[in-house]
Amino acid sequence: MIQDLKNIKVKDLKINANAAQPDPVKDPLQSLNRPIYSFNDMLDRNFLRPVAVQYKEKTPEDVRGSYRQFRKNLGEPWNAVNQLIQGRPGRAAKTLGRFTINTLTTLGLADPASRLGLPTEEENFGVTLGYYGVPSGPFLMLPFFGPSTLRDGFGLAVDAQARPQKYVMDDQDGLYWSSNMLQAVDTRAQYLDLDQTLQGDQYAMIRDLYLQRKAFQIAEKKGDSADVSFIDDDLEDTPDENQNP
């Protein structure tokens, strides 16, 4: 549910001016979204979080890191495709270079390409649509998947068809869904510390953080990140204690 809250630290918890619009404007489907959030939260509290806690305690950090990097490396070709669609062939070439170096040297289990000046830049089709000015549409809370928008929900469906895992495991449904479940547990384990940060109306905070991150991500690719305005909220003075591992 919190996969799209990556790279957020407590000191960064400011609300984007767009995310701070009145609820009827940014979240007209709130009466539907909140029950879905409650359902997701129930699954998280009773299943995903307990499993993630055990996974983090029992699985060595090096193993978790290698697994995470392996999955990230599998996504690099799709990142490059999105970058080409965005009209950024130079960035796409760097991404393919990353994929080649990491695959040939470590089978994707490590990231020597970053040390060679080729950092990753994660993409998805929803961001690509936003890059070309497609409006986000209303905020959506999707069952199991968590925060999204109408645009990003469509992008998620495209991403699901484009990821190589779908075709590598085409005739192995059990392995495919087990792989997705492991990814969900690993992602949840990375952000256990956020549980102490998300206080009060967690639905509203997750919604606003999601909208903020997406707006910044798209603006950054356009070179307009300095133009994304923020307004402070009460979290600005919160001590920066809980950071992502």
pLDDT band at 167 (very low <50, low <70, confident <90, very high): confident
Instruction: Tell me what the mean pLDDT of segment 130-153 comes to.
Output: 96
20-29, 42-51, 117-126, 232-241: segment of lowest average pLDDT: 232-241
According to DSSP, the β-strands at 139-142 and 15-16 are: unpaired
According to DSSP, the β-strands at 146-149 and 139-142 are: antiparallel
Kindly report the three-state secondary structure assignment for every residue of 149-192.
EHHHHHHHHHHHHHCHHHHHCCCCHHHHHHHHHHHHHHHHHHCH
Distance CA 101, CA 30 (A): 45
Cβ(52)–Cβ(185) under 8 Å?
A: yes
- What residues contact residue 140 under an 8 Å CB cut-off, 6+ apart? 29, 33, 147, 148, 149, 150, 152, 153
Q: What confidence tens digit (pLDDT) does each residue in 91-106 have?
A: 999 999 999 999 999 9
* pLDDT at position 227: 59
Instruction: Tell me what the mean pLDDT of segment 43-67 comes to.
Output: 97
| pTM of the full structure | 0.80
Size (the chain), residues:
245
